[in-house]
Structure 1
Amino acid sequence: MRKLCWFAAPCSAAIFLSVYLLPEDWLPPAGILCVLLSLTAFLFRGNTRWKAALVSLGLAFGFLWTSGYAAIFRAPARALAGETAEYTLTVTDYPKETRFGVSIPTKLTLEGAPAPKVLLYAGWDAKPLMPGDIISAQVRLAPSDFLRGEQFDYYQSRGIYLLGYTDIVTLEEHPTHIPPPYWPQELARRLKGSISEVFPADTAGFITALTTGDKGALPDGLYAAFQRTGLSHIVAVSGLHISFLASVLTLLLGRHRKRSFLAGMALVFFFAAMTGNSPSALRAAFMEGLLLLAPLLGREDDKPTTLSAILLLLLLQCPYAAASISLQLSFAAISGIYLISEPLALRWSKGLPKWDKGPKKAVRALLFFLITTLATTFGALLFTTPLSAWHFRSFSLAGPLTNLLTLWAVSGLFLGGLATALAGLFFPGLGGVLAWAVSWPARLVIGITKTISGWPFAAVSLTSIYLVGWFLLSYTLLLLCLFFRKRGLRPVIPCAICVLTLCAALVMNAWPIVSGALTITVLDVGQGSSTLFYSGGHTVLVDCGGNSADDPGDIAADHLQAMGTSKLDALVLTHYHADHAGGVPELLSRIDVSLLLLPNVEPEDPLRSEILSLAQRNNCEVEFLSEDAHITFGDASMTIYAPLGDGGANEEGLSVLCSAGDFDTLITGDMNHVVEHMLVKYKHLPDIELLVVGHHGSKSATSEELLLAATPEYAVISSGYNHYGHPALETLERLGAAGCGIYRTDQMGTVTFTLQGK
C-alpha cells in the first residue's frame, strides 16, 4: 500500500501549491515538466526507481487535475460574476436567517454546463423554501472569494464559487415529498426541532451545535468561550463525532465485518451529508470507511497511506478544499494522534500496575482512560496549535486544561444528544426524560468553559513580538524533547523555561500599557468604531460596533482579556447604529460592565431595547445622558457631552473628550459638520492631541472649523470595507492641510497610543 502513499502525498502537495502559490497559467507547464521528470526515474535502480516515478507522476497529476478542474467547473461559474439576469435555481438545503433575510444554498441551472453552487441571499419571503424546490429570480451574481475588499477562501473551499443577491423569489416547482438526495438535510432539520423541543433552553443550543455542527443556536458568547479555551472543535462536527458513531456501530454489530463495513459506510456518509459535508467530516467518513474496509481486504492499516489517500480523495472532488481551515486542522489533529498520541499512550501506560481483578481493575481502566485522553489531547494540540496560531493569530493557554477536563464527556454528550433527539421525534415524553439526564453533563462542560474563558490570559494574541518569540521558542524546545528524548533530555527544564519565558513575554507585552498614564486603543472592527481607554488599572470603552469578520464585541473582549482583565468600568455608546453598538450584546455576555452611558434618543430602536435588556440581566447600571457627565478613571478624566443636534441618530449622539495631563482625545461619533459647529461653539474644546475622526472619515464630518478650533496633532480613522467611499478624499485633504499625522485601521489594523507617566 505504500506505493499509493508515494503517489497520493505528492499529488496532494501539488494541489496545495496550485491553490496557495502558483498562478493558474503555470499549472499545465508545471504538470508537463513533472511528466518529463518522471522519465528520469529510469536512471535510478531498485526501489528508488519506482519511488521517483510515482512522486513525479503524483506531482504532474496534481497540477494538471487542478488546472482541468478550474477550467471545467470554476471558470464557467466565475464568468457569470458581475451579471444580473433571470435564473432558474434548485434549492439544496433549508434557508438560514441572516440580518436582512435568508441565505439559501442552491444550484444554478445552466444549459450545456455543470450546475454551479450558488449561495443565494434573498428576503424574508424566501424563508419557507425547502430542499428540492425549483425557483426563479432576477439574480445579481458575484464571486465568492472576495468579500469586504479582502480575499476570502471559505466558500471556494466548499465548492461555492458564486454568491447571488435577489429581492423577489418565484417558486416554480414544489415537490410533494423531499427528494431522496435531500433526506440528510431533512433529518438535520427535524433533529434540530426535536432538540429545541425536549432540551432546556440553557443546553439546547449547545446540544444542537454538538450533534449537527450548527453553531447558530449557541447563546451569545458561548462560541467565543469555546474558542478561547481551545474547545471550538467539539462544536464543529468532524472526525471526533464520526469516530464515535462508527465505534458504537462496530460495537453493536460485533464481528460481522462485512455488515459493519456496509452499515458503517452508509451511516457515516449520511451523517456527513446531514452536517453539511464539511471537509473535516468527509475526511473522517473516508477514514472510517478505510478502517472498516482494511480487514475485509486482508490489509493492515498503514497510517501514512490512509492519510495521504483520504486527503487526495477530498482534493480530487474539490481541489480548492485545500484552503479549508477545518480540513487542515482535521488532518493536523489526526496526524498528531497517529504519530504522537498512540506511542505516547503506550509509553505512559507501561507504568500502570497490572491489576486485573475486582475494584482495582476498574481503577486501572480509569487510569488508562485518563492517560489516553491526555495523550490524545497532547498529540492533537501539538499539530493543530501552529495552524490555529497562523490562521487566527491567537493561542489558547487554557486549551490543554479545558480539553483534559471536558473531552471525557464529549462522546457521551454527542451520542446521548443524538439518541435523545431521535427519541424526541417519536416519543416526546421519553425524549424529555433523556434530555433532563443529558443536560447535566452539558451544563458541566458549559460551566467549565465559561469559567476558564473568563480567566485573564486564557488565550493570548500572537500579534505581539514577545508572544510570537515565546511561541517559537516553546515549540523549538518541545521538538527537541521529542526528538532527543532517547539521549536523556529531561522535559522538566524545557517546561520550566517555557513557563518563565511566557511570564516574561506577558509582562513585556503589558508593560507599556500598565506603566503609562493613559493608553488609547482604536480597535480594528472594520467599518465601525470601538475605542478603549486604559489608565491605572481602569478601563473605559467608547462604542463597540463594526462589520469585521469577527464580532466587534469579541474583538473588544479578547483585547481586554489579553490585557489581564474581564471588566469595564464604563461603556459609552455615542448612538445605537450597528457600526457603533452592534457588538454590545456579545460584549455584555463576556465582560462585566459596571456602568453603561447612553443617549436618551430613539426609544423604539430594537438594538437599544436589546442592549437595555441585557444590561438589566447582567446587573449593569444604566445612565441616560441629557446633560454633560464627567467620570474619572486612574490618571485620566472623561467628559461625555450630551446630544447637541437633532434630526437623526448621528446628530443626536454623544461625543467624548478624554484627558490625561496635557494629552486630550476627542471622539465625535457620527455627527456632521453642523453639530461639530455647535460642539465648537458651546463646549470650549481645548487644543487636542488625538482626534478619532468623525463618521469613519465621511466628507460631511471633520470640518475645517473643528480642525482649526481643536488643532489635533494625530488623527485616527476607524473604517473598513464599505460602499460609502470612507474615508473621503476631501477629509484626508483637510486632515493633511491641518498638519495631522493620519492613521487608518483599514490599512494599519488596531492603532494604540500610550501616554507615559511621570
Structure 2
Amino acid sequence: MRRLCRFTAGFSIGCAACVAHFRSGAYLLAAIAAALCVLALGFRKQLHLQRLLPALLGLSLALAWCGVYRAVLLRPIEAFCARQQAEISAEVLEYPTSSRYGSAVLVCVEAEPRSIRAVLYYSSDETLLPGDRVTCTAKLRAASPDNLERDEYYASRGVWMCASAKGELTVEAGTRSLRYFPVYAAERLKRVCTQIFPADAAGFLQALLTGDKQNLSYALRNDLSRSGVYHVVAVSGMHVSLLAGLVMLLCAKKRVLCAALGIPLVWFFVLLTGANASSVRAGIMQTMLLVSGLVRRERDPWTAFSAALLVLLAENPWSLRNVGLLLSFASTGGILLFSKPLYHAMVDSKTYAHLEDHHPFLARGLRPGITATCCSLASSAFSLPICAVYFGVVSVSGFVTNALCLWLISLIFSAGLATAAASCICLPIGLGPGWLIGCAAQLVLGVIGAFSRLPYSAVSLDNPYAAVWAVFFFCAVWVICLQPKRLRASLTLGCLAVTFALCMGLSALDYRSAGFTFTALDVGQGQCLVYTADGETSIVDCGGVQNESGELAARYLEGNGVFRVERLFLTHPDADHCNGAAQLLSRTRVDTLYLPLTAICEDGAMLRGIREAAWEAGTQIKFVREDTEFLAKDGC
C-alpha cells in the first residue's frame, strides 16, 4: 500500500509544478517527458530505481491531468465569460453571506456544455434559499489559473467564475430537495446554537460545531490566533475523529455497526460543515479506517492520508493554493510522524514515572495535556513555516494554551454537538445542558483571552529580530521531534526562553537607541503614523482595513518593546483614519485619546466603538477645540 504514498507524492509534485510555474502549453511536453522516464526505468532491474516508478508515474499523470483539466473544464468557462456581461440563470446552492460588496451566494450557472460553479455578488434585499432559481444580468469574470495573485481565493476552492449582478434579481422559489438537506440542517443547527447557548459563548460554539465563523468578533478571532488555538474553529480531523469516537462508543466497538453508522454520519457532518478541504481530508481518512476495521485489514493511516490528498488534488489541482488544505495535511503529516515518539518519551521519562509512583491520580489527569502538547509539537514541524509565510505571525504561547484547553474543547465539542442535535428535534431538551456547556466554553475563552493579552503572546515576523527567533524556534521543534528522548525539557525550554528574551531585548534596544523615529505603517487605504521621541510614543490616526490596521499598529509597537502610547490623535472621524482605533485601544495602553471637536456631535457606530474601547481601557478622552502643539520632553 505504500506504493500509493509514493504515487501521491509524485502526483502532488506534478500538481505543484503546474500550479506554480507551468503555462498551458508546457503541460503536454512535461507529461511526455515524465512518461518516457517511467518507461526507461521500467526496463531496469535495480530495486532502488524500481521504487521510483510510482512517483514518476504519479508525476506524469499529474502533468497530463492538469493539461486536461484546463482544456476540458476551464477553457469553456473562459469562453463563457469572454462576453463580460450577459443574462444568466442559476440555481442557489447555499445560504447567502455578507461581503464587502453586499451579499454573496454560491450558485450553479446554466451554461454549455456543462453548468458552472460560481459566486454571485448582489446588493438587493432579495431573500435567497438553497434551491431557488435566480435570473439576472451580471458582469462575468473567469478566475484564471494564470493570475493567481488576483484569483487565488476562488481557484483554490474550485470556484472558476465570479458574477456581479447588475440591477434587480428575478427569483423563482425552488422546491425543497434532499440534495440540500445538509445545508438546511446546518442552518437549523446554527439557529439552535444561538437559542440554547449563552450569548457570549454562542458565536464560539457555533464556529466550533459548524465551522461558521461569521458570528465571531474580530477581537475573539484575534485572541484565538494569538493564543494558537484558531484551528479548533476550522472543522478538521479533530472534529471528525471525535464524532467517529462517539459512534464507536455508542456501538460498543462492533465493527459492522460502527462502519454502517459511522461512515454516513461522518460524511453528513462533512457536508453539513461546508465540505472544506480539511474536513474532506478527515472524512476520507476516517472512512478508510472504518472500512479497514470492517474487512479486518491492518489500519494504515499513511495510505488513508495519501488517498485523501490524491482525491482532493484530482478534483482540483489548484487546491494546493488553499492554505486550509496545506495546513491540514501538514499538521496531520507531522502528527502521524512524531506524536507517538513524543508521547512515549514524555510518559516514559523519570519525572513522569516518579509522579505515577507518588501521585497516580495527578499523573493520569496530566495525560490529556501531554497528548495535546505532543500533537501541537508534532503538527508544528510542518505547519509552522506555512503559518509564518501566510500569516506573518508565530504564536509563542500556543503550546501552553493547547495543553490547557484542547482536552476541554474536545469535551465541549462532543457534548455540544449531541445537545444541539437533540435540540434541533426538541428545543427545550438542550436549554439546561446548553447553559452548562456555555459555562465551560466561557472558561476556555477566559483562558484564551488571558494568554492572548500576555506581552509577546505572538510575534509578528515583520520584525527581523522576531523572524530570526522564529527560525531558531522552528529548528528547535524539529530537534525535539527527532530526538525526544535525548533532550532535557528544562534545557530546551531554557534555551528557547533565553534566545527569545535576547531577540526581543535587542529589538527594543535598537528601536529606543534611535532617539527619534517616524514610521508610516502600511495599512492599505488609510493612514497610521507612529512617532517616537525621547521615550514617548504618539500615533496619528489609525485607519485602513477595519480593525486590522489597529492590530498591525499594536504588533509593530509590541515587536519594538513599546507597551505604552502617550497620545493617540484621530484627525477626523473618517473610516480610513479611525476604523482601527478601537482594536488598538483594546491591545495597547493609551494614556490620552485626542478627538476633533466635531466628533462630539457625531454618534456613528465607529465613534461609539472607539469611545467605549477608550472607557474600558481607562484612556482619557480630550476634544481638540483649536490648533494645539504637543512637545516631547526635549521640547521638540
TM-score (norm. length: structure 1): 0.78
Provide the residue aligned with 2:381 in structure 1.
Answer: 382
Provide the residue aligned with 2:121 in structure 1.
Answer: 121
Answer yes or no: is the 8 Å Cα contact 2:542–2:578 preserved in 1. Answer: yes
Provide the residue aligned with 1:22 in structure 2.
Answer: 22
SS at match of 1:598: strand
Provide the residue aligned with 1:141 in structure 2.
Answer: 140
User: Which is greater in Rg?
Assistant: 1
Q: 1:560 aligns with which of 548, 557, 561?
A: 557
Provide the residue aligned with 2:431 in structure 1.
Answer: 432
Answer yes or no: is the 8 Å Cα contact 2:515–2:535 preserved in 1. Answer: no
SS at match of 1:346: helix
Distance 1:202 1:11, change over 3 A: same
Provide the residue aligned with 2:327 in structure 1.
Answer: 329
Answer yes or no: is the 8 Å Cα contact 1:456–1:564 preserved in 2. Answer: no
CA–CA distance in 1 between the matches of 2:143 and 2:535?
44
Map 1:195-594 to 2 at 5 A: 195-351=193-349, 362-480=361-479, 482-483=481-482, 493=491, 495-547=493-545, 551-594=548-591
Answer yes or no: is the 8 Å Cα contact 2:567–2:590 preserved in 1. Answer: yes
CA–CA distance in 1 between the matches of 2:101 and 2:615?
27
Provide the residue aligned with 2:592 in structure 1.
Answer: 595
Answer yes or no: is the 8 Å Cα contact 2:384–2:474 preserved in 1. Answer: no
CA–CA distance in 2 between the matches of 1:90 and 1:74?
20
CA–CA distance in 1 between the matches of 2:628 and 2:82?
52
Displacement of 1:552 in angstroms is: 1.6
Map 1:154-193 to 2 at 5 A: 154-177=153-176, 179-193=177-191
Distance 1:306 1:428, change over 3 A: closer
Displacement of 1:153 in angstroms is: 1.8
Provide the residue aligned with 1:52 in structure 2.
Answer: 52
CA–CA distance in 1 between the matches of 2:461 and 2:314?
34
CA–CA distance in 2 between the matches of 1:83 and 1:197?
44
CA–CA distance in 1 between the matches of 2:479 and 2:627?
61
How many residues of Structure 1 are paired with residues of Structure 2 in the alignment?
Answer: 631
CA–CA distance in 2 between the matches of 1:435 and 1:537?
50
**Farther-moved stretch of structure 1 (394-403 vs 571-580):** 571-580
1:268 aligned partner, one-letter code = V
Answer yes or no: is the 8 Å Cα contact 2:554–2:588 preserved in 1. Answer: yes
Displacement of 1:95 in angstroms is: 0.8
Displacement of 1:46 in angstroms is: 6.1
CA–CA distance in 1 between the matches of 2:211 and 2:200?
17
Displacement of 1:490 in angstroms is: 5.5
- Runs (4 or more) in structure 1 with deviation over 6 Å come to 145-149, 354-357
Answer yes or no: is the 8 Å Cα contact 1:199–1:435 preserved in 2. Answer: yes
Distance 1:473 1:149, change over 3 A: closer
Provide the residue aligned with 2:98 in structure 1.
Answer: 97
CA–CA distance in 2 between the matches of 1:145 and 1:402?
40
1:580 aligned partner, one-letter code = H
Distance 1:76 1:540, change over 3 A: farther
CA–CA distance in 2 between the matches of 1:287 and 1:396?
28
Displacement of 1:147 in angstroms is: 14
Displacement of 1:167 in angstroms is: 4.2
2:430 aligned partner, one-letter code = G
CA–CA distance in 2 between the matches of 1:535 and 1:560?
14
CA–CA distance in 1 between the matches of 2:59 and 2:147?
35
Distance 1:354 1:457, change over 3 A: closer
Deviations 1:684-711 (A, max 9, x none): xxxxxxxxxxxxxxxxxxxxxxxxxxxx
Distance 1:383 1:634, change over 3 A: farther
Displacement of 1:446 in angstroms is: 1.1
Distance 1:619 1:58, change over 3 A: same
Answer yes or no: is the 8 Å Cα contact 1:456–1:565 preserved in 2. Answer: no
2:135 aligned partner, one-letter code = S
Displacement of 1:338 in angstroms is: 1.1
Provide the residue aligned with 1:704 in structure 2.
Answer: none
Answer yes or no: is the 8 Å Cα contact 1:615–1:622 preserved in 2. Answer: yes
Deviations 1:59-107 (A, max 9, x none): 1111111221122223332341670111111111111123452111112
Displacement of 1:478 in angstroms is: 4.5
Distance 1:254 1:11, change over 3 A: same
Answer yes or no: is the 8 Å Cα contact 1:142–1:162 preserved in 2. Answer: yes
Provide the residue aligned with 1:687 in structure 2.
Answer: none
CA–CA distance in 2 between the matches of 1:165 and 1:369?
49
Answer yes or no: is the 8 Å Cα contact 1:146–1:152 preserved in 2. Answer: yes
SS at match of 1:112: coil
Answer yes or no: is the 8 Å Cα contact 1:517–1:635 preserved in 2. Answer: no
Distance 1:457 1:363, change over 3 A: closer
Provide the residue aligned with 1:664 in structure 2.
Answer: none
Displacement of 1:404 in angstroms is: 1.2
CA–CA distance in 1 between the matches of 2:633 and 2:416?
49
Distance 1:196 1:279, change over 3 A: same
**Farther-moved stretch of structure 1 (264-273 vs 46-55):** 46-55
Answer yes or no: is the 8 Å Cα contact 2:136–2:165 preserved in 1. Answer: yes
Answer yes or no: is the 8 Å Cα contact 1:15–1:315 preserved in 2. Answer: yes
CA–CA distance in 2 between the matches of 1:282 and 1:596?
48
Answer yes or no: is the 8 Å Cα contact 2:284–2:304 preserved in 1. Answer: no
Structure with the larger helix share: 2
**Farther-moved stretch of structure 1 (223-232 vs 147-156):** 147-156
Provide the residue aligned with 2:622 in structure 1.
Answer: 623
Answer yes or no: is the 8 Å Cα contact 2:342–2:481 preserved in 1. Answer: no
Distance 1:26 1:491, change over 3 A: farther
Provide the residue aligned with 1:714 in structure 2.
Answer: none
Displacement of 1:23 in angstroms is: 2.6
CA–CA distance in 2 between the matches of 1:479 and 1:614?
41
Displacement of 1:485 in angstroms is: 6.4
